[in-house]
Amino acid sequence: MMTTKCLFILCLCLVPYVVFSSTFTSQNPIDLPSAKSVPVLDTTGKEVDPRWSYRMVYTKRGPYGGDIYLDYSPGSTAPCPDGVFRYGQVGPKGTPVRMITPSHFGPGVYVDQEINIQFVISNVEKCGSYTIWKVGPYDSEERVSFLETGQQDSKSCFKIVKSPRLLGYELITCDGALVGTMGNRVALVNNFSLDFNFEKVED
C-alpha cells in the first residue's frame, strides 16, 4: 500500500515537468547553443557578441573589395538610406552592424544560426525603420534580388556560414540562397559570394 502511494505521489510531481517540457519543445522551441555550436569570430579571434557593433570587412583586404555600408538604393524615394552596398576598394570605413539573435541565453553568435542583421546608425528616431537587412523584390531588369533595409519580416532572416575557400565567412538566407555582390550592390547571386570578416568597432 505504501509503495502504491509513493508511486502516485511521484507521478503527480512529474506531471508539471512533462507538461512544461512538452510546451517548450513542440510549440515554442528554445534556440539554445548546442555542444556542437561553432561561434563566429572577429578579426582578433574573439567571439562575436550581439551586444557590440562590428564592420563587415572584406576577407582578403585586397584591391577588389571593401567594407559593407548603408546608402540609398538607385531610384529610391525612401526618406532614409535603404540599400546594402560594398565598397569597391579598401579604405572607406563601412557602416557598423549588429547581429540580432533569437536567443537570450548567451551573448554568442553562432555559425548556421538564424539571425537578423541591423545597421547601427546615429539618427535612429528618423531612420530606425530602415536598418534591418532584408531581401528585396526581384529586379526583372537586372534579374536578381538586391538586399535592402526596412523593418523585420520573413525576408530578413540570414545565416553566417564558413567560407569554403577563405578563412572568413559567407552569408546565406535562411532558405539557403547565397548572398554576394553584383557591382557594388549586395544581392542574391550564384557566385561572387560576400566573403567577409567581422571587425569590432572600438568605442
Length of the chain: 203
Q: For residue 11, is pLDDT > 80?
A: no
pLDDT(119) > 60: yes
What integer is the mean pLDDT of 164-168?
Answer: 79
CA distances from 170 to 10, 57, 80, 106, 197 (A): 51, 12, 27, 23, 9
What is d(CA 186, CA 108) in angstroms, rounded to the nearest whole number? 25
Give the tens place of pLDDT for each residue, 74-90.
999 999 999 999 998 77
φ, ψ for residue 119, nearest 5 deg: -70, 140
Rounded mean pLDDT, 48-77: 88
- Gyration radius from the chain CA atoms: 21
Query: For residue range 56-66, what is the model confidence (pLDDT) as tens digits?
Result: 998 865 556 79
Average pLDDT rounded to a whole number, residues 158-177: 91
CA nearest neighbour of 46 among 163, 199, 149: 199
Q: What pLDDT sits at residue 12?
A: 43
- pLDDT category at 167 given cuts 50, 70, 90 is confident
What's residue 24's pLDDT? 31
Average pLDDT for residues 11-22, to the nearest whole number? 39
Residue 53's pLDDT is: 97
pTM: 0.80
How far apart are the C-alpha atoms of 9 and 68, rounded to whole Å?
61
Q: Mean pLDDT throughout 33-38?
A: 69
- Confidence (pLDDT) at 34: 54
Mean local confidence (pLDDT), 91-112: 86
